[in-house]
Structure 1
Amino acid sequence: MEQKKMVDYAYHYGLKVRIYPSQQQKKTIQRNADAARCVYNEHVAVNKEIAQFGKRSIYIDFIEKRIEALRERISTVTALKDRYPWLRHSDIDSLSIANARQNYQRAWKQFRTVHHAGVPNFHKKSSVESYQTNPHYGKDKKISLFTSNARFLDQHHLMLPKLKRIRFQGSRKMLDRLFAMREVRIGTITITKDGLHRYFASFQLGSNEPFIKACPKTKAEIGIDLNIENFYADSNGEILANPRYYRRQKRRLANAQRKLSCRIVRAKKEHRPLREAKNVEKQRLLVAKLTAQVMQRRKDFLHRTSTILIKNHDLVATEELRSRNLLKNHALAMSIQDNGWRMFLGMLTYKAALYGKNFVTVDPRNTTQTCNACGRIMNDKDKLTLKDREWTCPKCGIHHIRDVNAAKNILARAKAKLASMH
């Protein structure tokens, strides 16, 4: 019987756990990350050189021979290993090389689909390391979390290719749920070391059972207007304050970055390699720690906020935000990035699908300028500016709080959009 692939499963879920490798396992992770980066960069280098030839010239025979030789270099994994013999090391997972080749092709596919994604670029060596691998299920083995060469041993230990047994820590509640499910297939596994020297394993999971049970219907609906003054205002009149995590840490982070820059300059003047300069590494870790604190606090806030909204409402409506265009305004760019709007909308999207709720985005045009009671649009001399936080409709005389009025308009448009879809 042919085994199911990941695309054949009805539900997909991503699980990220922290792993605690030994010193030998850390060396293995580094070798595999270096191998994946080397293979990816070889593909980038070969295709850049081929692209530089451009149109055919009088030296057509030489060009064709050179292009043929370049393509031969990356044609197979064996050809890559012949060029770089260290890729044959016993610690290197063959699937890390295969995934690097596949990721290069995906990067080109992404560029052709979304042009602003950019073409594949050279990956520099940095403090962040990662590679991908895949489990291998035997033909006669039942598909589960416990039957492949990459499997869970218990709630504290994993078995991973080349790394063998390794301790991990994850959500006990989610692990109990996963272990109780009948059939869960493990897909791509990403092993990562971050800038703070912490190690993580991310699993792509597939199943025909839902990973999270749908929440009961509440018959509640809410519209949300995202803004810079506050994080958001909703159609019920509630306003959520903006935590501004980056601005709180900005001065301390700037001082740490300035100190790091001075240490790098000093190390270069003394002709010391930066990787061997202990004071540089010590300060780099401090900068990475401060940056990670901002990101983690913001992410935790966005997770808690999005989960509460989705669980407590059957319909959540927001405006369509084009962050790339908004960031062109240099006066607002820092505040927009500090809010994490794009991440927030992404969380609402996938959590609505997980919990069986509706999340709708609408065109934001004139949501602020339109009176939600009578529909009059403020324009010309009456047009509202960013300074106008409250206003009174000249037609019906109703007094509005700017962002709450916009949220009500967003909800009305979302309900109309949802009705037209059904």
Structure 2
Amino acid sequence: MSQKRQSTAITGNLLYAQSGGVTAVINATAAGVIEAARGKGVKVYAARNGILGALREELIDTSKESAAAITALRHTPGGAFGSCRYKLKSLEDDRAEYARLIDVFRAHEIRWFLYNGGNDSADTALKISQLGNAMGYDIRCIGVPKTVDNDLAVTDCCPGFGSVAKYTAISTLEASLDVASMAETSTKVFILEVMGRHAGWIAAAAGLAGEGEDEPPHIILFPENSFDEVAFLAKVKATVERVGWCTVVASEGVRNAAGEFLADAGTRDAFGHTQLGGVAPVLAALVKEKLGYKYHWALPDYLQRSARNMASKTDANQAYAVGKAAVEYALAGMNAVMPVITRTSDSPYRWKIEPAALDKIANREKKMPADFLTLDGFGITAAARRYLAPLIQGEAHPPHGRDGLPKYGRLKNTAVAKKLPAFEH
């Protein structure tokens, strides 16, 4: 394992890059990185649009930003430096890309690389961490956790998840109050589709909106369970007859008994993931055809991960903390590790940051534990509530302007002068 501290008698610059889908709090992690590095006298470059920026030598000099601008990142959604979905192949399969990264690192005296992303990004970070020995350049690489899906292994939770969980629970609660008020003469079934390709963590968070059989969400559909049409329709019908209406929360990754996505758009992203989106209308059509109920459905999509105004304070604090810890690990000479969140107590909720080896995280996926799902597969258990509830605690509202809108930060993103020929691949 590469977690062992190495010699720290090196000087140079630190490169930070964001990867994959952004979160409401990924910029808080960026702020943690930059502020921690500034405190140590280390210059931070940021790669424009993730790893592609490193390959293209499109670097941003964060030292040109004011302290106030960096602090504002803590309450600003999106990816301040741009992100991308791009997965490096193995060194054996594409040595040219790795050679290019080394050329860029060397040209700009980059000795530490922090890659802020999820499962596939952890794999890329692991590969880059091995470059020093393979290509004769001293580089330390730290993976930094981020994903709304909460599916990273080892860490108790993922920065980004707590905020999307809060958004989902609040949206479920508020929409359900609307449905309840209209159910007598209008909508009987409301379906909310949430993100989650293989793991149902976000769908589970909707369960925090209410407790008890008659409180919404009445049905949660998880990707961990095969979709049973007969059982689903029976549950919807029984709920409407008993309560008068029914709220359903469905993960985008719901599959049928044959293992096929109910909402497969037929395209794939750069990581090879199936492009999803559209399970809610599929379910709505089924409800209309089989039960005849009037329905509404919603697909919040990007709204889930960009809702910084509704962010969890716990999540925002954890996002900042992993960025700060990543810098501390890098400057201490650590390599091929990730700062992860360790829960030390449920009540009161307490947590700490510890290093974990990237090879225990890369390309692994944490799904919902079986004891988090009710026996009928349509809800969450008390154990799931104990786990989820602390992650949405606290408000971290951004400052607002006179126009009533949040005052989000904007960086100058001053480019670093290029020193190498353009990269063609």
**TM-score of the pair, normalised by structure 1:** 0.21
As a proportion of its length, which structure holds more helix?
1
Which structure's relative contact order is higher, taking Cα pairs within 8 Å and 6+ residues apart? Answer: 2
Q: Which has the larger radius of gyration?
A: 1
TM-score scaled by structure 2? 0.20
